[in-house]
Chains A and B, each alone.
Chain A
Amino acid sequence: MGVLDGRVACVTGGTRGIGLACAKAFLDEGAKVVINGRDAKKAEASIAELNAGDRVHFIAGDVKKREDCEAIVHGTVEHFGKIDILVPNAGGGSDYAPVAQMTDAAMEDAMLWNFWHTFWTMRTALNYMIPQGWGRIMAMSSVEGKMGKPAISSYVASKHAINGLCKSAAKEVGTMGITVNALCPGAIETDEMRTAGPPAAEAMGLTYEGLLDVFAQQSAIKRLNECEDVALVAVLLASDAGAGITGSMISIDGGTSPY
């Protein structure tokens, strides 16, 4: 008996990192899960790792595209018959630079990847969740959705935007059995961090290790967070017990953000 028995979840960016950890935790609690990613090849290894038979299904798609975002949610309903839990988790940034040098393309890329993807998947999912009178949306924000570091304004702004979106949506559907929350993890050394971290560090005038150390030193635990930390909270929010928690920006940051 799991706390998510009978539930259907959809996790964007679900083939690795935080998304994969959420998918695994949902499966462990009895849910069926759609994982999305860009690369079907990578997904094969993830699906093998999840080892959940037909309770897991992969939908390829680039979350920077609206039609893909909508197709991921529609595809979840087509495959498993409904969508109960949405985790718009994919995200990142590119071409980091101080605001004075930030290009439009870099800002647009982060907004598409983080904010628009969250909006598109949330809108589509809510249109299924509202009629069924039950739903859980946990959008992946960040400790940087509350704070702000130099040279990653595109990431910071788009994560702050996700928090605002969640708060508004939570109020709209608060009496309909649907909760909408933002998860705000501290730095985690995911694949995405290993890819985007070094150039982000360079833009901040740091080494990659130095950047990770900045995050660790700002926390109370003086170390980075882990994907499983986020999955733990995601399961709680997705469960029936999470019915009274909405519109929140939940910190999973080892004691970093002050609020």
Chain B
Amino acid sequence: MGKLDGKVACITGGTRSIGRAMADAFIAEGASVVVNGRDEAKGMKCLEEMNAGDRAAFYGGDASKQATVEGLIAFTIEKYGQLDICCLNSGGVLNTAPVFAMTDEEWNLEIDWNLNHVFWGMRKALQHMMERQTGRIIVTSSVEGKLGKPGIPGYATTKHAVNGLVKAAAAEVGTLGITVNSILPGIIETDIVRETGPDSAIAMGVAGYDELIDMFCQESSIKRPNKVEEVAAVAVMLASDAARNITGNMFPVDGGTMPY
């Protein structure tokens, strides 16, 4: 008996790191999961590793594109007949810079990737969930959704924005059997952080990748990065039936960083 037996989930950015940990945890608790990612080969590898048979599927596409996000939700409902848990998890930065040096191109990418993707997915998922009067929407925000570091203005802005979106949506559907929450992880050494961290470090005015990670760690109480499994455990809890009364929350998984 799993906590998510019979549930169906979809996860943007689900083939690796936080999204992948959520997928693994959901499957372990009995759910069926569609993971999204840009890279077909990584998607296939992910399915192979998860080894969940019919209970796992891959939907390829860039989560910063409306067609991908809406397509993922339509695909999930078509494949499994329902969508119970929608994890809007994908996000990041590509060529971040301080405000004075931020390009329109980067800014718009971050808005699409971190904010619009969440809106598109949430809207589409809610239309389905409101009809069924049940659902869980879980958004991966960030410790930067409450704080704000130099050099990542787009990231901080969009992660703040999704928290507002979560609170408003939670209030809209609070009596309809649907919860809407965000999880705010501290720094985690995910693939995306390893890929973009060195460039982000320069934009943030620190010497390099290691110093970037250390800066986040030193702000925390635990003085270490968080782990994807810690986020996944919260996601399982929020996704479970037992969490029906927990909504509109910004759930911290940041090792004691944020003051509120």
Question: Which residues of A are at the interface with B, using a C-beta cutoff of 8 A?
Answer: 167, 170-171, 173-175, 179, 186, 219-223, 225-226, 228-229, 232-233, 236, 239, 241-252, 254-256, 258-259
B246 pairs with A229, CB closer than 8 A? yes
User: Which residues of the other chain, A, contact B186 by a CB distance below 8 angstroms?
Assistant: 244
The number of residues on chain B lying at the interface, defined by a beta carbon within 8 Å of a beta carbon of chain A, is: 41
- The secondary structure that dominates the B interface is loop
User: Which residues of the other chain, B, contact A245 by a CB distance below 8 angstroms?
Assistant: 230, 234, 252-255
Question: Which residues of B are at the interface with A, using a C-beta cutoff of 8 A?
Answer: 146, 167, 170-171, 173-175, 186, 220-224, 226-227, 229-230, 232-234, 237, 240, 242-260
User: Which residues of the other chain, A, contact B229 by a CB distance below 8 angstroms?
Assistant: 241
Q: List 13 A-B contacts (CB under 8 A).
A: A167-B256, A220-B171, A220-B175, A232-B242, A241-B233, A245-B252, A247-B221, A247-B256, A248-B256, A249-B260, A250-B251, A254-B174, A255-B170
A258 pairs with B252, CB closer than 8 A? no
User: Which residues of the other chain, B, contact A259 by a CB distance below 8 angstroms?
Assistant: 146, 250, 260
Give bound CA distance, A173 to B255, whole Å: 11
Among B171, B173, B233, B249, contact of A239 (Cβ-Cβ < 8 Å): B233
A246 pairs with B256, CB closer than 8 A? yes
Q: Assuming A175-B224, A246-B255, A248-B256, what are 13 further A-B pairs, CB within 8 angstroms? A: A170-B221, A171-B256, A220-B175, A221-B245, A229-B246, A232-B240, A236-B234, A245-B252, A246-B222, A246-B256, A247-B258, A252-B246, A255-B248
Known pairs A236-B233, A244-B226; A255 contacts B242 (CB<8 A):
no
Q: Which residue of B lies closest to A172 (CB)?
A: B221
B247 pairs with A255, CB closer than 8 A? yes
Give bound CA distance, A171 to B223, whole Å: 9
B256 pairs with A220, CB closer than 8 A? no
Among A222, A225, A228, A251, contact of B175 (Cβ-Cβ < 8 Å): A222
A174 pairs with B223, CB closer than 8 A? yes
Q: Which residue of B lies closest to A254 (CB)?
A: B245
A244 pairs with B251, CB closer than 8 A? no
Give bound CA distance, A171 to B256, whole Å: 7
Known pairs A167-B259, A248-B252; A221 contacts B222 (CB<8 A):
no
Give bound CA distance, A247 to B230, whole Å: 15
User: Which residues of the other chain, B, contact A247 by a CB distance below 8 angstroms?
Assistant: 221, 255-258
A220 pairs with B251, CB closer than 8 A? no
A174 pairs with B220, CB closer than 8 A? yes
